[in-house]
Amino acid sequence: MHPGAWWLWSLGLGTAATRTTNPLLLALLIAAAGYVVATHRSAAPWARSYTAFARLAAAVLLIRLAFTVVLGSPIPGTHVLLTLPEVPLPHWAQGIRLGGEVTAEALLFSGYNGLQLAALLICVGAANALASPARLLKSLPGALYEVGVAVVVALTFAPHLIADVQRLRAARRLRGRPDRGIRGLLQVGLPVLEGALERSVALAAAMDARGYGRTAAVPARVRRTTTALTLGGLLGVCAGTYGLLTAEGGTYGLPVLGAGVVAALAGLRLGGRRTPRTRYRPEPWGVHAWLVAGSGAAVAALLALASVRDPQALHPGVVPLVAPTLPLWPAAAVLLATLPAFIVPKEPS
């Protein structure tokens, strides 16, 4: 499976998560992503990062609720759950309070928004667990190679850090030493930092040995054309996206966006001449990759359509306090996200 297909699938799921605050749909989206990861995650070290992303998502949700309890919320409510001692603040801190009444409406509003952010983190974690960063870097066009190296190094930092922590904690347990608490954290932190430094030095040596940064000589007119196409294309993409998001620019938004994408792709194609690289066994983009990427795009498009057609179902209100309902066809659209679990062949263990 092409690693770019997994990232497009996860980005589609993340886009769908931004279109709704319905906790039932968000929970269904998280369950779909988790099911695909559980069926197709490999045994590589970077594939273990999904659990860390899930824990981070849960922490974000709890912190969001804790802030609402302590600092209050602008959402009015009549269902008071508890009343905390309120700390008086000076007059220059108007609009901020510490303590006071905690209402069910405020907690639900914060919980919906926190769950939306948690779903985004889960989608990013799914891409990290399914797509190999090294294979993704190999698939990038030549013009984006330098940027791709920096992005891949950044993406692999968290998985390698988690793998180092797990390995060192297991070694300490085998030696009968504590691996939990402040003491265990301090004694594990130094070897982890040392391992990160050694990996950085090894990566720099490998990049230097492979001629990283070497560029080919191209005519000046090709460089100017590349710069003009890339900058013009990016400006066209920004202008077209703005036109699609506003009512006034609905007529020119799509043509400008299409022209910008074409110009940017042409600039990247010309820019690739400055970075002569060969690929050993290029990653094939086959039928399965199209289906995986298409399933994520379909979920995003259908949720965006549902948010326009039935905004009340995808954004349940909290004032007055009502229970969220599960809309049928948006829920069926979310289930399309599980398509990779059934069509993508599993890697041999």
Q: pTM above the 0.85 mark?
A: no
Q: Is 304 domain-assigned?
A: yes
Q: CA-to-CA distance for 312 and 315, rounded, in angstroms?
A: 5
Q: Is there a single domain that holds both residue 107 and residue 228?
A: no
Please check whether residues 231 and 330 belong to one and the same domain: no
Say if residue 347's pLDDT is above 80: no
Mean pLDDT of 219-231: 79
Burial of residue 239, with CB atoms counted within 10 A of its CB: 0-12 exposed, 13-18 middle, 19 or more buried: middle
Q: Which residues contact 107 (CB under 8 A, 6 or more apart)?
A: 65, 68, 69, 81
Q: DSSP secondary structure string, 112-124? A: HHHHHHHHHHHHH
User: pLDDT category, 248, cuts 50, 70, 90?
Assistant: low
pLDDT band at 299 (very low <50, low <70, confident <90, very high): very high
DSSP state of 243: H
Q: What is the pLDDT of residue 185?
A: 66
Which domain range does residue 246 map to?
A: 218-274
Instruction: Return the half-sphere exposure (C-beta side, CA atoms, 13 A cut-off) of residue 287.
Output: 2
- Residue 101: phi and psi, rounded to 5, are -80, 140
Mean pLDDT (whole number) for 62-88 = 82
Asked whether the predicted pLDDT for residue 270 surpasses 60, the reply is: yes
Residue 3 has pLDDT above 80, yes or no: yes
Q: Which two tokens stand for residue 157?
A: 């930092």
Tens-digit pLDDT profile for residues 12-68: 898 889 888 899 999 999 999 999 998 888 777 667 778 888 999 999 999 999 888
Residue 158 and residue 253 in one domain: no
Does residue 349 sit within a domain?
Answer: no
Mean of pLDDT values over 125-130:
87
For residues 292 and 3, what is the distance between their CA atoms, to the nearest angstrom?
11
233, 323: one domain: no
